[in-house]
Copies of this chain bind each other. A is one copy, B any other.
Amino acid sequence: MDKLLIVGTVAFDAIETPFGKTDKILGGAATFIGLAASQFDVDSAIISVVGDDFPQEYLDLLTDRKIDISALEIVKGGKTFFWKGLYHNDLNTRDTLATELNVLADFKPVVPESYNDAEVVMLGNLHPIVQLDVINQLKKRPRIIILDTMNFWMDNALNDLMEVIKQIDVLTINDEEARQLTGEYSLVKAAQKIFTMGPKYVVIKKGEHGALLFHEDQIFFAPALPLEEVFDPTGAGDTFAGGFAGYLAASEDSSFENMKKAVIHGSNLASFSVEKFGTERMLQLNHKEITERLHQFKRLTQFDIELQ
């Protein structure tokens, strides 16, 4: 069994959608990644930071799922990172109403000794300097480093971001961000340009339109499951990344063939995540539901055209 090291935010989210609103609930990239990855047979640890306003109950939710949180720093007298967002009617666009960095502002990640030889490292969305700091603390080169990022860092820390992108194996990024990073409208061309920046694999997330996996001249596509209702898209991209990384760690195989399966597993878990607010759906999820929905993914995409 591979070790999976996860870096990213553990946070409070307040979310408003056309269907309702929440007070401060459990959120953060590392939270969603960790919960998704915990569906697979992996040892995982989260590196992150919270304030002492962060409830023990939320920490327990992580340890209950056997996620090692010894490197989740709790800052005495500090306040946890807080994000507040408002989704528009189509749920495809949102306004950020508040971002309070709080303890995240001075965060110095410390890789725990038991994880400095992790085979799989998932760098969730955070300042690229923090992501790079984690890579530099590793004792040996992981089998695979996956990086998730967003347009905010392209706008505000592009040089640092390019530095970390050089060091990684897989970049996961959404379609508009891929276009912004490369100046290419075609996602095929954008992926090719990202290859020249360092990564050998690129996953372009298209939200309700699915995800594309690129490697050399190979392309694989996983649709998003068409749903009657999307309730809250918060964390869907992180859940996808967590499922992707968790499956790659559990299967100890990072071939392209296996990465295709990882993309399907990531899409599958993300399809649950959006059904309720925040982490709610991920916390209730059972193995039977997951398998049933994988069958749905098969029926959705598999066809039988005989070719010479």
Which residues of A does B touch, CB under 8 Å?
Answer: 89-90, 185-189, 206, 209-210, 212, 218-223, 226-230, 257, 260-261, 264-265, 291, 294-295, 298-305, 307-308
Note all chain B residues with C-beta closer than 8 A to A220: 299-301, 303
Note all chain B residues with C-beta closer than 8 A to A227: 186, 188
Note all chain B residues with C-beta closer than 8 A to A230: 186
Asked whether A89 and B185 contact (CB < 8 A) given A223-B223, A303-B260, A308-B291, the answer is yes
CA distance A264 to B306 in the complex (A): 12
Q: Within the complex, which residue of B186, B209, B294, B300 is in contact with A307, where a contact is CB–CB below 8 Å?
A: B294
Asked whether, in the complex, the Cβ of B218 is within 8 Å of the Cβ of A299, the reply is yes
Asked whether A186 and B228 contact (CB < 8 A) given A209-B206, A307-B295, the answer is yes
CA distance A292 to B221 in the complex (A): 18
- In the A-B complex, list the 4 residue pairs whose CB atoms are closest, starting with the nearest: A209-B209, A221-B223, A188-B228, A260-B303
Report 6 cross-chain contacts, Cβ distance below 8 Å, ordered by A residue: A186-B227, A189-B229, A209-B210, A223-B223, A298-B307, A301-B303
What's the dominant secondary structure at chain A's contact region? Answer: mixed
Note all chain B residues with C-beta closer than 8 A to A206: 209
Asked whether, in the complex, the Cβ of A90 is within 8 Å of the Cβ of B185, the reply is yes
CA distance A295 to B307 in the complex (A): 7
Asked whether, in the complex, the Cβ of A261 is within 8 Å of the Cβ of B229, the reply is no
**Chain B minimum-CB-distance residue to A91:** B185
Note all chain B residues with C-beta closer than 8 A to A303: 220, 222, 260-261, 264, 301
CB distance from A293 to the nearest CB of B (A): 10
Asked whether A301 and B221 contact (CB < 8 A) given A206-B209, A226-B188, A227-B186, the answer is yes
CB distance from A265 to the nearest CB of B (A): 8
**Chain B minimum-CB-distance residue to A90:** B185
CB distance from A291 to the nearest CB of B (A): 6
**Chain B minimum-CB-distance residue to A303:** B260
Asked whether, in the complex, the Cβ of B300 is within 8 Å of the Cβ of A302, the reply is no
CA distance A218 to B301 in the complex (A): 11
Q: Within the complex, which residue of B188, B226, B265 is in contact with A221, where a contact is CB–CB below 8 Å?
A: B226
